[in-house]
């Protein structure tokens, strides 16, 4: 029966031989747990929570059908009967919660970070160090057999189906596109030849698993690379896949090597739903929309408008396993929304670390981080309602403690109030909405507009005092730093002081980049950036007439002339996130921001900023110099500068987030520290 909330999204989907309880899919997300047999109990617990949370269909992280298909050395593989015992832990956990789960079969082709890589042709990818070998005719045949064996083993493991990964530039996508398929034989040339491998795989898997088993295929509907497929080719492939036995067509946008962002926070929500819609009109099996869909109202609109039959969200289920149950019971305002930062999920995966989630540190740590009810209720003060303090206060209250949260500001959020001023970071407001609701639900007593002192705290009988007071911006020791043309990033982003047309930014960390993006934006144009502008800016043709949907980007019209400076000799922006930093660098480059490394600051005066670079002096004749030179901890409330001090006396003092350590601080660490400390009180 359809829910009264989000009736289209939450309506069941009848596949003939089986029924999905609603139209939501938890898309494939590599956590790292699937690569080691001893982590399968953790993986099972992770999926169990998501199944209990109501999602319609879960897709596992990618599992390789053979060694050559490994993404990383010794990555998760299913090629022998021995593998099914681990996977049964996962399938049983999901089925016990009433969910359904398919295993993704992923052959990474030339994206594999290992020396055995193969592809359609011997052409190296720009983002990989290993040159692939072209598969021989017999190599292709054995690859097809490996897919079939893998699917049969998945079936024996209790999966409800498989997802065959055909997008994001992995092996099957490499066969499909002229960019990577230079073959002259029956596997290359025309689209009929290039699609032979994926279509044969689907046909033979279908023959092996019978008709009552889901085969979902993730089809690349917008390659976003030179030499990608045209729309006509995308449709030809989709129709052939349908004929070959695919049950559901999932969609993928952009190869990993594409230079167009497809999932980071600055990509407009549901940006690619119209492309899924065109595919839906060309086939008769269910089509899934994906990419940057993170709240139920958008997902509902996608189904209600007829853009797609299902909606895939991967990261949003890391952020909140209860997404669907909350939506179904009219509690969408309680959803912990994925802000598309990639900081704890994809950035971890690419660093070969276990994935988690910035806004939900329990993700993929369900058996390690528990928010259990306490037997000994304590009176807890949390000072500072930034991400660290919010996490600490809400988790402590959830565990049953009596919590008071203080902040000198009139609203919660700390630096997130500043971050959300940056174009493309509008999602950060969702985290504040989530915490604001969570404070109400958990019964935290909130005292805003109050800068508390240690003395005041000591008179109120607290057992534990958590200092989460964050940071203060650093003022660098540069001659003329008190000149009227010098502003701090707070002056610009928070206090909205007037900024001239020529600007030098001192400090090229995350905040320096954000300030540059903020100042490039013409304030007379609305935010978030309208989709058509965003497509034009990044050179995307959603009609995909040729080149996988790439066209020439529109000319940039920077609102200001900007210099972004650092003292280090390293590449400017090298410290930004692995999967998002390139987007920030590309934006600044397109807008002619001059990024200078190895700078020595000499002085600031009426003329501008005087620097020494490459042994020569240079004057940057700017109207304003903006300081983004890092931050220092605010620890005035601590008994002394050591968190150890006072631990054994009452009240016990703790410090977390920026107050504990300003360097390399980000919200991921702040929230994790807050949650971990509160869970341990």
| CA–CA distances in Å: residue 266 to residues 175, 244, 423 | 31, 37, 7
Residues 6+ apart with CB under 8 A from 648: none
Residue numbers annotated as active site:
170
> Whose Cβ is closer to ligand NAP: residue 191's or residue 341's?
341
HEC readout, 434-502: HHHHHHHHHCCEEEECCCCCHHHHHCCCCCEEEECCCEEECCCCCECCCCCCEEEHHHHHCCCCCCCCE
Residue 357 engages ligand SF4 in binding (rule: CB under 6 A): yes
For ligand FAD, the binding residues in 31-60 under the rule CB under 6 A are none
Residue 343 engages ligand SF4 in binding (rule: CB under 6 A): yes
Q: Which one of 470, 542, 573, 639 is in contact with ligand FAD (CB under 6 A)?
A: 470
> What is the pattern of x (binds ligand SF4, CB under 6 A) and - over residues 360-399?
----------------------------------------
Q: Are 109 and 118 in contact (CB under 8 A)?
A: yes
Q: Which one of 415, 431, 591, 643 is in contact with ligand FAD (CB under 6 A)?
A: 415
Residue 408 engages ligand FAD in binding (rule: CB under 6 A): yes
Contact segment (CB under 6 A) with ligand SF4 among 88-96, 197-205, 332-340, 488-496 equals 332-340
> What is the pattern of x (binds ligand SF4, CB under 6 A) and - over residues 609-648?
----------------------------------------
Residue 361's φ and ψ, nearest 5 degrees, are -65, -10
For ligand SF4, the binding residues in 466-485 under the rule CB under 6 A are none
Q: Are 435 and 441 in contact (CB under 8 A)?
A: no
Contact segment (CB under 6 A) with ligand FAD among 161-169, 300-308, 380-388, 646-654 equals 380-388
Rg (the chain; Cα; Å): 26
Q: Are 102 and 248 in contact (CB under 8 A)?
A: no
Q: What is 571-587 written as a DSSP string? A: PTTTTS-TTTHHHHHHH
> What is the pattern of x (binds ligand FAD, CB under 6 A) and - over residues 447-466?
----xx--------------
Cα(303)–Cα(23) distance, integer angstroms: 8
Nearest to 380 by CA among 319, 444, 429, 322: 444
| CA–CA distances in Å: residue 521 to residues 491, 498, 617 | 17, 14, 30
> Whose Cβ is closer to ligand SF4: residue 148's or residue 391's?
391
Residue 388 touches which member of ligand SF4, ligand FAD, ligand NAP, none, C-beta under 5-8 Å by kind: ligand FAD
Residue 566 CB, nearest distance to ligand NAP (Å)? 4
Cα(146)–Cα(64) distance, integer angstroms: 9
For ligand SF4, the binding residues in 269-328 under the rule CB under 6 A are 315, 318-319
Residue 324 engages ligand FAD in binding (rule: CB under 6 A): no
Sheet holding 624-627, edge to edge: 486-488, 624-627, 502-506, 561-565, 594-596
Cα(271)–Cα(294) distance, integer angstroms: 12
Residue 93 touches which member of ligand NAP, ligand SF4, ligand FAD, none, C-beta under 5-8 Å by kind: none
Residue 381 engages ligand FAD in binding (rule: CB under 6 A): no
Residue 414 touches which member of ligand NAP, ligand SF4, ligand FAD, none, C-beta under 5-8 Å by kind: ligand FAD
Residue 364 CB, nearest distance to ligand SF4 (Å)? 10
> Whose Cβ is closer to ligand FAD: residue 309's or residue 517's?
517
| CA–CA distances in Å: residue 400 to residues 454, 676, 679 | 25, 15, 10
Residue 406 touches which member of ligand SF4, ligand FAD, ligand NAP, none, C-beta under 5-8 Å by kind: ligand FAD
Residue 287 engages ligand FAD in binding (rule: CB under 6 A): no
Q: Which one of 386, 400, 548, 549 is in contact with ligand FAD (CB under 6 A)?
A: 386
Contact segment (CB under 6 A) with ligand FAD among 146-154, 207-215, 298-306, 665-673 equals 665-673
- Residue 70 CA neighbour count, 13 Å, CB half: 17
For residue 239, give the H/E element and its range. helix 231-244
DSSP 355: -
For ligand FAD, the binding residues in 337-376 under the rule CB under 6 A are 341, 343
DSSP 284: S
Structure tokens at 293: 């869909």
> Whose Cβ is closer to ligand NAP: residue 452's or residue 520's?
520
Q: Give CA angle at 656 (655, 657), nearest 5°.
A: 140
Specify the residue for token string 């919010």.
Answer: 390
Q: What is 32-51 written as a DSSP string? A: SGGGSGGGHHHHHHHHHHHH
Residue 508 touches which member of ligand NAP, ligand FAD, ligand SF4, none, C-beta under 5-8 Å by kind: ligand NAP
Residue 340 engages ligand SF4 in binding (rule: CB under 6 A): yes
Cα(107)–Cα(162) distance, integer angstroms: 13
Residue 9 CB, nearest distance to ligand FAD (Å)? 29
For residue 137, give the H/E element and its range. helix 137-156
For residue 221, give the H/E element and its range. strand 214-222
Residue 344 engages ligand SF4 in binding (rule: CB under 6 A): yes
DSSP 421: T
User: Other CB atoms closer than 10 Å to residue 7's CB: what's the count?
Assistant: 13
Residue 344 touches which member of ligand FAD, ligand SF4, ligand NAP, none, C-beta under 5-8 Å by kind: ligand SF4
> What is the pattern of x (binds ligand FAD, CB under 6 A) and - over residues 507-546?
---xx--x--------------------------------
Q: Which parts of this chain interact with ligand FAD (CB under 6 A)?
A: 341, 343, 383-389, 406-409, 414-416, 418-419, 422, 451-452, 468-471, 493, 510-511, 514, 634, 637, 657-658, 665-668, 670
Q: Which parts of this chain interact with ligand SF4 (CB under 6 A)?
A: 315, 318-319, 338-345, 357-359
């Amino acid at each position: 029966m359809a829910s009264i909330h989000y009736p289209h999204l939450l309506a069941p989907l009848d596949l003939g031989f089986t029924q999905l309880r609603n139209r939501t899919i938890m898309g494939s997300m590599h956590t790292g747990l699937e690569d080691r047999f001893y982590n399968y109990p953790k993986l099972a617990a992770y999926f169990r929570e998501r199944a209990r949370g109501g999602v319609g269909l879960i897709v596992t992280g990618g599992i390789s059908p053979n060694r050559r298909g490994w993404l990383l050395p010794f990555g998760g593989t299913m090629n022998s009967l021995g593998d099914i015992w681990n996977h049964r832990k996962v399938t049983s956990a999901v089925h016990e919660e009433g969910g359904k789960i398919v295993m993704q079969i992923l052959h990474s082709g030339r994206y594999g970070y290992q020396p055995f890589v193969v592809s359609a042709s011997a052409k190296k990818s720009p983002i990989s160090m290993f040159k692939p070998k072209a598969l021989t005719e017999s190599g292709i045949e054995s690859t097809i057999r490996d897919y079939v064996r893998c699917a049969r083993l998945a079936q024996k493991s209790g999966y409800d189906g498989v997802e065959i990964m055909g997008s994001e530039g992995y092996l099957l996508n490499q066969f499909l596109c002229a960019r990577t398929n230079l073959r002259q034989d029956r596997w290359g040339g025309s689209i009929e030849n290039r699609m032979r491998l994926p279509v044969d795989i689907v046909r033979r898997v279908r023959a092996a698993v019978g008709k009552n088993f889901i085969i979902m295929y993730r089809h690349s509907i917008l390659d976003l690379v030179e030499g990608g497929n045209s729309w006509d080719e995308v449709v030809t492939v989709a129709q052939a896949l349908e004929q070959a036995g695919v049950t559901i067509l999932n969609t993928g946008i952009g190869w990993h090597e594409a230079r167009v962002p497809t999932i980071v926070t600055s990509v407009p929500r549901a940006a690619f739903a119209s492309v899924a819609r065109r595919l839906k009109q060309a086939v008769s099996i269910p089509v899934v929309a994906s990419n940057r869909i993170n709240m139920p109202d958008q997902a509902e609109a996608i189904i209600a408008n007829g853009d797609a039959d299902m909606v895939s969200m991967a990261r949003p289920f890391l952020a909140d396993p209860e997404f669907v149950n909350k939506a179904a019971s009219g509690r969408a305002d309680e959803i912990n929304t994925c802000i598309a930062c990639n900081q704890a999920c994809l950035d971890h995966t690419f660093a070969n670390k276990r994935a988690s989630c910035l806004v939900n540190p329990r993700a993929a740590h369900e058996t390690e981080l528990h928010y259990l009810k306490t037997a000994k209720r304590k009176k807890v003060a949390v000072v500072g309602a930034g991400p660290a303090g919010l996490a600490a206060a809400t988790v402590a209250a959830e565990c049953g403690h009596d919590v008071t949260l203080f902040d000198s500001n009139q609203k919660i959020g700390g630096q997130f109030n500043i971050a959300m001023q940056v174009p493309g970071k509008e999602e950060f407001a969702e985290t504040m909405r989530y915490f604001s609701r969570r404070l109400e639900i958990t019964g935290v007593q909130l005292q805003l507009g109050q800068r508390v002192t240690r003395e005041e705290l000591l008179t109120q009988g607290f057992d534990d005092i958590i200092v989460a007071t964050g940071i203060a911006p650093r003022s660098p020791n540069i001659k003329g730093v008190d000149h009227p043309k010098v502003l701090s990033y707070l002056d610009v982003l928070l206090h909205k002081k007037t900024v001239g047309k020529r600007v030098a930014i001192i400090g090229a960390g995350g905040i320096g980049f954000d300030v540059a993006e903020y100042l490039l934006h013409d304030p007379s144009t609305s935010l978030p950036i309208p989709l058509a502008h965003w497509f034009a800016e990044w050179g995307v043709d959603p009609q995909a007439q040729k080149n996988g949907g790439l066209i020439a980007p529109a000319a940039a019209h920077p609102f200001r002339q900007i210099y972004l400076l650092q003292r280090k000799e390293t590449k400017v922006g090298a410290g930004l996130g692995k999967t998002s930093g390139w987007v920030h660098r590309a934006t600044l480059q397109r807008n002619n921001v001059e990024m200078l490394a190895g700078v020595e600051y000499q002085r600031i005066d009426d003329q501008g900023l005087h620097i020494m670079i490459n042994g020569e002096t240079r004057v940057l004749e700017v109207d304003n110099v903006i300081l983004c030179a890092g931050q220092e901890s605010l620890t005035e409330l601590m008994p002394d500068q050591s968190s150890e001090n006072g631990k054994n006396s009452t009240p016990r003092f703790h410090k977390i987030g920026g107050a504990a350590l300003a360097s390399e601080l980000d919200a991921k660490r702040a929230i994790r520290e807050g949650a971990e400390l509160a869970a341990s009180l």
